[in-house]
């Protein structure tokens, strides 16, 4: 990769982060306050789409059941607060532990399979737990879900904050999501991440060079369950409730579309895809009830015209532009950079 290419990417990433930090002041001034919480929601769903991307984009396993781990994160928080009377951090922890634990159990069975068999078993798992959650109304609240009031404050060091303060809520979500994306970036660049991509590219060869493919797929599956669990837990705090409807496979499917349209196998692809579709939903749905038609048409167009997703397309353009600038052309590596 050429220096200039790396610098362009760095600069864009920094600009993006600065823009996100400025949101609580700029957005209410330019548009209105409502959009601050939309952006917070986009960040949460981007993290959820990233959990699909980690499995599909980097390990080659297409999961249609990520909503299950999202749901466990949600219910961990909701049950922790409303039933067990936990405070903020223990409830957050319970949500994450619950989703990681169920991802581990489901993963033991699921990662024995690949391709459509894997996709089917992940759907089946999430459906089983969806119907289970709907039927045990006493614990989960069924279709109505569980509403809870947040523990009024939580403290971290000397600082105390509350989700009832919208700016605080926004920054808490921003910090948690940014931290998860940073973790994912580190993993992708590590020897473990390279092994993931090797398995995605050629699993027989990966096994023959000595990689324990089953174990590595299970690790990726649990990591992806962690990302989905964190997003679910954040969404529970954000919405102050948990509902079985978020465990339905429709929710999983949306994340798959977001990740693929944004660019599977790129770190920031899920953010781009999620942002695009949620903005369309928010803008169009107030004027036209069939907004999902636009979503469908766009998804089809992107898959046909830009199989690597929007970020993949952007990376190719950037690489070509940089190659033309510098003569002789410098070779670009197919890094999984943003």
Partner 1 sequence: MTESVLLVEGLTKRFGGLTAVNKLNLSITSGRLHAIIGPNGAGKTTFFNLISGLYTADSGRVLFKGRNITGLKPYEISRIGIKRTMQIKSVFPQLSVSENLWVTRNATNGVLHPFRSASSDHATRERVEFTLEQIGLTPLANRAAGTLSYGDVALLEIGMALISDPQLLLLDEPTCGMSPAETARTVDKIKILAQTIDIVIIEHDMEVVFEIADDITVMTQGENLVSGSPAEISGDERVREAYLGRPEDEDYVEEAAHA
Residues found near partner 1 in the complex (CB under 8 A) = 1, 183, 186-187, 189-195, 197-198, 200-202, 204-213, 216, 331-334
The DSSP 8-state label assigned to residue 288 in this structure reads -
Contact 238, 169 (CB under 8 A): yes
Q: How far is the CB of 175 from partner 1 (least distance, A)?
A: 19
Q: How far is the CB of 312 from partner 1 (least distance, A)?
A: 12
Q: How far is the CB of 132 from partner 1 (least distance, A)?
A: 32
**Which residue number, 274 or 336, has a Cβ lying nearer to partner 1?**
336
**Which residue number, 32 or 204, has a Cβ lying nearer to partner 1?**
204
Q: How far is the CB of 215 from partner 1 (least distance, A)?
A: 9
Report the half-sphere exposure of 230 (CA within 13 A, side-chain side): 25
Relative to beta strand 154-156, strand 146-147 is unpaired
**Which residue number, 83 or 202, has a Cβ lying nearer to partner 1?**
202
**Which residue number, 60 or 95, has a Cβ lying nearer to partner 1?**
60
**Which residue number, 96 or 213, has a Cβ lying nearer to partner 1?**
213
CA distance 217 to 221: 6
Stretch (H or E) spanning 156? strand 154-156
The DSSP 8-state label assigned to residue 290 in this structure reads T
Q: How far is the CB of 289 from partner 1 (least distance, A)?
A: 42
Locate 112 and state its tokens. Answer: 């024995």
CA distance 248 to 173: 24
**Which residue number, 168 or 214, has a Cβ lying nearer to partner 1?**
214
Q: How far is the CB of 2 from partner 1 (least distance, A)?
A: 11
H helices present in the chain, as ranges: 3-30, 34-59, 67-82, 88-110, 115-135, 137-140, 166-189, 191-201, 203-208, 213-239, 249-263, 269-284, 291-305, 309-325
Locate 239 and state its tokens. Answer: 């919405």
Q: How far is the CB of 208 from partner 1 (least distance, A)?
A: 6
Residue with tokens 């529970």: 236
CA distance 160 to 157: 8
Q: Give the torsion through C-alpha atoms of 143, 138, 154, 38, to 10 deg.
A: 0
**Which residue number, 149 or 333, has a Cβ lying nearer to partner 1?**
333
Q: How far is the CB of 34 from partner 1 (least distance, A)?
A: 38
For 26, other C-beta atoms within 10 Å of its C-beta total: 12
Can you tell me whether residue 160 is helix, strand or coil? strand
**Which residue number, 32 or 333, has a Cβ lying nearer to partner 1?**
333
CA distance 69 to 228: 6
CA distance 310 to 307: 8
């Amino acid at each position: 990769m050429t220096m200039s290419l790396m610098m362009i990417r760095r600069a864009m990433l920094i600009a993006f982060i600065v823009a996100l930090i400025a949101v609580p002041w700029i957005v209410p001034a330019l548009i209105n306050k409502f959009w601050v919480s939309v952006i917070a929601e986009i960040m949460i769903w981007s993290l959820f789409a990233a959990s699909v991307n980690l499995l599909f984009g980097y390990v080659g396993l297409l999961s249609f059941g990520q909503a299950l781990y999202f749901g466990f994160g949600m219910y961990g928080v909701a049950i922790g607060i409303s039933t067990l009377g936990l405070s903020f951090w223990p409830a957050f922890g319970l949500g994450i532990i619950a989703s990681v634990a169920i991802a581990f159990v489901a993963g033991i069975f699921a990662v024995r399979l690949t391709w459509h068999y894997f996709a089917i078993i992940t759907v089946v798992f999430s459906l089983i737990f969806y119907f289970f959650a709907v039927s045990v109304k006493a614990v989960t609240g069924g279709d109505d879900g569980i509403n809870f009031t947040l523990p009024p404050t939580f403290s971290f060091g000397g600082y105390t904050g509350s989700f009832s303060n919208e700016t605080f809520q926004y920054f808490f979500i921003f910090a948690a999501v940014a931290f998860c994306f940073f973790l994912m970036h580190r993993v992708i660049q590590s020897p473990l991440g390279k092994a993931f991509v090797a398995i995605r590219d050629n699993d027989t060869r990966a096994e023959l060079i000595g990689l324990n493919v089953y174990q590595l797929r299970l690790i990726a599956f649990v990591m992806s369950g962690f990302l989905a669990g964190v997003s679910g837990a954040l969404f529970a705090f954000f919405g102050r409730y948990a509902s079985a409807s978020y465990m339905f496979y429709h929710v999983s499917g949306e994340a798959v579309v977001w990740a693929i349209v944004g660019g599977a196998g790129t770190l920031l692809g899920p953010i781009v895809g999620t942002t695009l579709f949620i903005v369309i939903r928010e803008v169009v749905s107030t004027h036209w009830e069939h907004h999902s038609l636009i979503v469908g048409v766009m998804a089809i167009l992107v898959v046909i015209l830009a199989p690597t997703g929007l970020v993949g397309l952007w990376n190719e353009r950037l690489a070509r532009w940089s190659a033309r600038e510098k003569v002789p052309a410098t070779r670009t590596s197919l890094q999984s950079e943003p």
